Amino acid sequence: MRTSRARQGNETANGDGHAGGGRQWARADATRQALLSAAQRVFADRGYADAGIAEIVERSGISVGSLYHHYGGKAGLYVALWEELTAEQEASAAQAVSAARKEGESDPIALFTAGARAYLRVCWERREAARLFLDGEGPSGSSLMRRSRAQHWIAQNTKLLRGPAPGEPAGRAEQVLSLVLTTVIGEAGREIATAESEDEAAEIIDEVCRILIRLAR
């Protein structure tokens, strides 16, 4: 891969593999983060369709060549922002479920609700990023990307809600329940991302979790 070869070359040239390689990776990471931060601001201000590469480059202070090198263009930046947000949401939910299990919780619905609460909390904490994806605007193929992610969440939630069930496939009722609950969480995330205050977001999260428990039982 290009990155590994570049790192190897840097280690050989400067004779200090760990320090030189670390600096190189740190610079690359700083470049990527500067580009993503600038892209997020421009997408928020202009919308995806009207966002321009020139403005992203100007706001980031990074060269256009670096932008294309790391992300391939505007669409790549959008996808990277989406993947960063969804990865954080998924990681937060998984960590909350794991923590609940370690504390002795075994009820599938309680575990599911713990994961949902953590997911929704990220919708507030990362609201600037979450708002970018509320209207469905994006590059070609982004709607397919969203559907694929939704199907992944439904499958994960179905497995969690079943608990330590036998190995047979989930039944239709279980699949539909997971679909309904996942849809509720997704729509709630949209409302939380546009809440006017942290208190309002917290109230929505609490009410959504109460609704999820009633629906799941």
User: Among candidates 31, 51, 27, which has minimal Cα distance to 41?
Assistant: 51
The pLDDT tens digits for 144-154 are: 999 999 999 99
Rounded CA gap, 128 and 194, in Å?
9
In three-state secondary structure terms, 11 is helix
User: Which pLDDT does position 166 carry in this prediction?
Assistant: 62
**% helix, strand, coil for the chain, step of 5:** 80, 0, 20
Residue 9 confidence class, pLDDT cut points 50, 70, 90: very low
The pLDDT tens digits for 102-126 are: 999 999 999 999 999 999 999 999 9
Residue 165 confidence class, pLDDT cut points 50, 70, 90: low
